[in-house]
Each structure stands twice: as structure tokens, then as C-alpha cells.
Amino acid sequence: MPIRTVSKTNGMRLVQFLTGIDVTERLSVLTSKFLDSLERVNGFVLKVASPTSGVKEVKLCPGEGKVISSDRDAGFFGVAALAK
């Protein structure tokens, strides 16, 4: 299912567009486990504008539903991978 980055009062959230299900916590756990399992990282291939792996130009929507993005930020996994 496609996801989008949504700005909420509790921060940036990843929400499945069609169902409205917030997958932020699940992706956070998966990201932490994956990155922690790596001994050494030589690099990652990340996609610009991807809600998960983008490092910039990720559309940040002001709410759920059919809304136009109002801002740009970095993707969820992309930020964590760069910090590794």
C-alpha cells in the first residue's frame, strides 16, 4: 500500500493513503532493527522524494485524505540511514 508523510501534532507520521492506517511505529521498529543489525555501512541507495527513503524533497502533507502537500522534508528511513 502506498504511504504518505503527514504532519501531525505529534510529529511526522507515515500513513497508508487508502486505509488511513498509521505505520510509523512499525516502520520505526523495523528501521532500528535493520540498521542495528549492520556492522558496517558503506552506503545506501536512497530515492529522492520517497516518503521512506528520501533524503530531501519528500512531500509533507498537512493532514490525511486528499490534500496537497504544503511542505518538504526528509524521508523516515533516509534520515535514520544517514545518521548511521
Alpha carbon 71 to its chain's center = 14
What are the domain boundaries of the chain?
Answer: 3-83
Q: Given this model, what pLDDT does residue 4 score?
A: 83
What tens-digit pLDDT sequence spans the chain (84 residues)? 788 888 777 778 888 888 889 999 999 899 999 999 998 888 888 888 788 888 777 877 777 666 666 677 778 788 888 887
For 76, residues 6+ apart whose C-beta sits below 8 A from its C-beta are 5, 12, 14, 24, 27, 28, 31, 51, 52
Q: Is pTM, for the whole model, over 0.85?
A: no
Indicate the SS3 state at residue 30: helix
